[in-house]
Structures are given as structure tokens and as C-alpha cells.
Chains A and B, each alone.
Chain A
Amino acid sequence: MRSVMRFFFVWALACLVFCAETALAASPRETLEVSLNQILDIIKSPAYANPAERDGLRKKIGQYVRASFDFQEFSARTVGAGWRNFSPQQKSAFADAFADLLINTYVNKIDGYNGEQIAFIGERLSPKGDRTEIQTVISQKNGKKIPVNYRMLPKGGTWKVYDVLIENISLVKNYRTQFQDLLRTTDPDQLIVRLREKASEVQKSDGKK
């Protein structure tokens, strides 16, 4: 009988522990789902179809992206070992410029909603449980499915994205090689200038279309 008691005791304890965990913060998947839905809602809104209003709404999307992505983590991973040689000012300048480039590239080319659906198909945890990959599939109207995975880590009481894998190709890794190649010949300040130039160039080319 004792074993039965112990079993229930452990069970009750386990339940309490899990509940305490739920009370602390929303799960990474929930966090991601909320921000993706916020962004989708903007794109779906009729105002977004109006080019005059689009710029303001894109700024709003940019704010949501900045809130749910951690661009310092993005930058640290893309620059790699060289990140240690960046001063705190350079770090935040770099992260800002990189955020601008990514947002201008990926957000500002969304002209409108074309019936894309986002499905959450699974998630994986690192053995320690402090890194997670949320796996989603974007289904386009023409039946095409694009796997997009978000890697997240806990930061400031919530979960933040630190890498995006489109078709399983890591965004961070793609930039990593470029940045490391450039850092061999230029210093951090010059790299930041080039990033800023590229970000505004992307912004302008979008304005033309």
C-alpha cells in the first residue's frame, strides 16, 4: 500500500511542478503563435492592400518582429568568434543594422495576403531544454509548402527567436560565412556601415517596385 501512496504523492508533486512551470511563462510555441498571428492579422487587414497605408503597417510589423526576435543573439551567432572584439556600442549598432536588413528584405516585400496558412507541425528541444525549434509549414494557395523552423531561447521571461531556417537552411549560417569573410579584410565599423547601406538599398529597391 505504501508504494501506492508514494505513487500518488509523486504524481501530485509532478503535477504541481508542471503547473508552476506553466504559470511562469507561456510556452515557446504559444509565444511564437501569438506574434505570428499578430503579424498575419496586419497582412490580412484590408488596409494593407492600400499602398498608401502599407508603409505604416510595415513599420508595425517590424516592431512585432523586433519584439519577438532577439537580434543581438542573431548577430552574435552570425559574426561568431569575432563578436567578442565588438564594443557594446558596435554590438547594438550592428544588431540594429542587421535587424533593418532582415526586416527590409523579408517583411517589406509582402505585398498582401495570398491565402498562406501557417501550420505548427512539431517541436524539438535541446537535451538541456533551454533551446527549442518550433517547426512550421507555410502552405501557399498553389499548394506549395515551405518548411520554416524557428529556433528560440528564453530571454527576459519570454521566448525569443534567434534563428530562422527556411527549407532547413539557416539564415544565421548563410550570413555567417559572408560576415566572417568580410571581417577578414574590414573592421567592425566598416561592416556596420556596409550593413546599413545594404539595408537602405533594399528599402529603396522595394520602393521602386
Chain B
Amino acid sequence: MMERSRAHALGLLGTLVLILFWAGLSFAEPHSSSVQERITFAFVRTLHDALPQSFHQVKVQNAASCGYLGDVFFAPGAISVEANEPERGLAAGDDLDELDNYEGQDASQVYDPFEGWNRFWFRFNDKFYLYVADPIYRGWQAVTPHQLRTGLKNFFHNILFPVRFVNNLLQFKLKAAGVEFGRFMMNTMCSAGFADPASTKKTIVPMDSAGEDFGQTLGYWGIGHGPYLVWPFIGPSSFRETLGRIGDLFAEPLFYVQPWWAASAGSLTLRFNDLDEVLPLYQDLTGAALDPYIAMREAYINYRNLHAQQ
């Protein structure tokens, strides 16, 4: 009996100490949310270590809000531990076990048997972008208001909806296909596609920012890139991506517009109008590279692999 009440007293005391300790943390520094966040985080970490998978993602959404006495409240579900599926861990499969296993990789995993041909067209394209495309685009920027350029961009993106929709279906991403359909309907009805109000809406599934295309579908089906290729004017590609590009043509509405030369001119103009998303990126990437050709090749293949996984 005696022992039991002592245990009670000790237990109560222990709880009290902990409550005071916790409260003390809140009082000590009014903005000390991080300390409590860390304790919570440490707790989540123990949890996450206890889980069997080799890699998990600890997510803290909606940074904690402060209540009375500076206590930190996490909304229900604000902290979640997600086990990454093994095949979808990081960019490449080699990153799964650690964040840090850069050792022991081959210099490049890109198959590039046509390097001579590719380098020739890479140099050609480089000059073309620098001395032809970029100056013309600057001229285009000077004579058009940015509203027109953005409107045309949205319009082009919107008419390419069938490509994204079909490829979502081919990858069995039914919800994402639904999102694409909803966006298309919303944008088409409110502005014939010249505005993009749908982009501000939250989607039911995370969307691939670049949109799905047939190259990604082929990747999703497990088909590799094959040899790396550089096409004149178009730039980096691969056997798979070239096939994907041709496949996507059939889902492009402009492909069915007659006469063909008008459709091609329209398509070319719209593509040209999108150049400002590519040219600065290209200049950043190659400008800082010791070997621009390799920098471009690696970045392109990594980027495409990543999107094929998403």
C-alpha cells in the first residue's frame, strides 16, 4: 500500500516536472518554437528509425502555429512519416540507401555512341541559339507586350492538352488525367485557353510539372533511352525521346489542321514563343560548364529520367 502511493507520488511529480519543463521552454524564449519542433521532430525520428524501410520522408506541413503561452500546435496530420517506395526514392536508383553515395559510380551512364555527330550538331545549335534564336527572341520581346506572350503560351499549353491526357491514361494515372481534363475545361471555357486560372487550384494528386508525354510513357513502360542524340535546331534527345516526340504528334490538334503549312507555321510560332523558358536555362547550364556538351547531355537525361519516374 505504502509503496503504491509512493509510486503514485513519484509518477505525479515526474509528470509535473515534465509539464513545467515543457512550459518553461515556451516561456524561456517567445519564439522558441524550433526547440519544441525539434523535440517533436526527434520523436518523429525515433518513430521513423523504427520503421523497417531504408528510407522515409519526414514531412512537417504548414509550419506550426503558436497558441497560448507560445505553445506549438501542429494541425492534425501536419507531421507525417512517409516511407518511400524503393523504386521511387530519389532521382536515380543509386541514391536509395544513402543521401551520400557518390562514390563508385561510373563517370556517365549515358550511352552515347554517336558522340561525334552529336557534338557537331551541339556546336551548330549552340551558335544557332546564340546568334539567331536569341537575337530574334529579343526582337520579339521588344515588339510584343508580355501579356500577349503569356497568353500565347497558355493557349499553346492548353491545346496540347490531348497529349498530356492520353499519356496520363497510358500510364494509368487516372486522377492526373482527370486533373488535366478539369484544367482544360476550366481554361477553355473561361478564356479559350489564353488564361490559366486553373493553375492556382489545388490538385487531388501531385502533378508532374512538365506534363506527361509519350517519351515519359515509354520510360514508364520500362523502355530505356537508347543512344543519346542531338538533332539540329531541336537539340538534345534520344532514340526513345525521338520516338516519343513522333508519337505525341498524333495527339496534337495542330497535326490535323489543314493546310499543313499554316499549321506548321502556327506550331512554329507557338514553339518560338516558348523559347524564353529554355534559352536562359540553356545559357546558365552551358555558360558554367567546362564541357557544355557533357553538361547538357547529363542534365537532359537526368531531367527526362526524373519526369519519367514522376
Contacts and interface: CB of A to CB of B under 8 A. Distances in A.
Contacts of B284: 105, 109
Contact of A176 (B18, B99, B107, B288): B107
A11 interface: yes
Interface of B: 3-4, 7-8, 10-11, 14-15, 17-18, 21, 34-35, 38-39, 41-43, 45, 48-49, 54-61, 63, 90-91, 97-100, 102-105, 107-108, 199-200, 209, 284, 287-291, 294-295, 297-299, 302-303, 306
A2 interface: yes
A4 B7 contact: yes
Interface string A109-133: 1000000000011111111110111
Contacts of A122: 57-61
A101 B100 CA distance: 23
Contact of B34 (A2, A21, A27, A105): A27
Given A15-B21, A27-B34, A177 B99 contact: no
Residue of B10, B55, B290 contacting most chain A CB atoms (<10 Å): B290
A153 B15 CA distance: 36
A194 B55 CA distance: 39
A174 interface: yes
A64 interface: no
A62 interface: no
Interface residues of A, number: 62
B291 A178 contact: yes
A120 B298 CA distance: 27
Given A80-B105, A81-B103, A172-B102, 15 more contacts: A1-B4, A5-B11, A8-B10, A8-B15, A27-B41, A109-B284, A122-B58, A127-B98, A129-B49, A169-B306, A173-B298, A175-B290, A177-B107, A195-B290, A198-B288
Interface string A131-156: 11100000000010100000101000
A128 B21 CA distance: 29
15 contacts: A2-B7, A8-B14, A18-B39, A27-B34, A121-B59, A124-B57, A126-B99, A128-B98, A129-B45, A169-B91, A169-B299, A174-B302, A175-B289, A181-B107, A205-B287
